[in-house]
Amino acid sequence: MAESAGTISTMKEFVTFLREGTIAVVLLLFLLLPGAMKNVMAKAGFASADIAGFKFELQQSAQQTQTATETVTQLEDKLSALKQQLDQVSQSAAAPEVKQKIMTLSDEVGKTRAETSSVQTSLRNSLATQRSIIQKVDPNLLEQKPPKP
């Protein structure tokens, strides 16, 4: 029994030695060949950055921001068209209370459109920042299409 405990202990020490040795070798490769290791990591699909303890999937995040920007642009266009239609209906409405209700709806659509414009500006700024970070980390990522989830 003592012999098997000694064998298990020796195996644990050996596995720990292998693990620590592997980590040391990988760290040395990163120190000695950073360009080659970056390319290997990028080819393996690691396109993320660790900033202040937060891990960001750069390429995927930029793609999501781009998609959100396009969606907000479509919403702005639809809101603009809706506001124009409400203004036209308001001009042809006979009853003053109906006309007032339509004008109130038109004003609400205008306010919503202004809010979406503000969101659009924030998204564009965020996308520019993300692209700037990607450019600094790995310029080749901007040219690649992210894999579909």
pLDDT of res. 64: 80
Q: What is the pLDDT of residue 134?
A: 73
> What are the structure tokens assigned to 31, written together?
């120190």
Q: What is the pLDDT of residue 47?
A: 56
Task: Give the Cα separation of 41 and 105 in Å (integer).
Answer: 54
Res 133: pLDDT: 73
In this prediction, residue 56 carries a pLDDT of: 52
φ/ψ of residue 84, rounded to 5: -60, -40
pLDDT < 50 positions in the chain: 51-54, 146-149
Could you tell me the pTM of the whole model? Answer: 0.51
Q: At 3, which amino acid appears?
A: E
Q: Note the pLDDT of residue 149.
A: 40
Which pLDDT belongs to residue 136?
72
42/27 Cα distance (integer angstroms) = 17
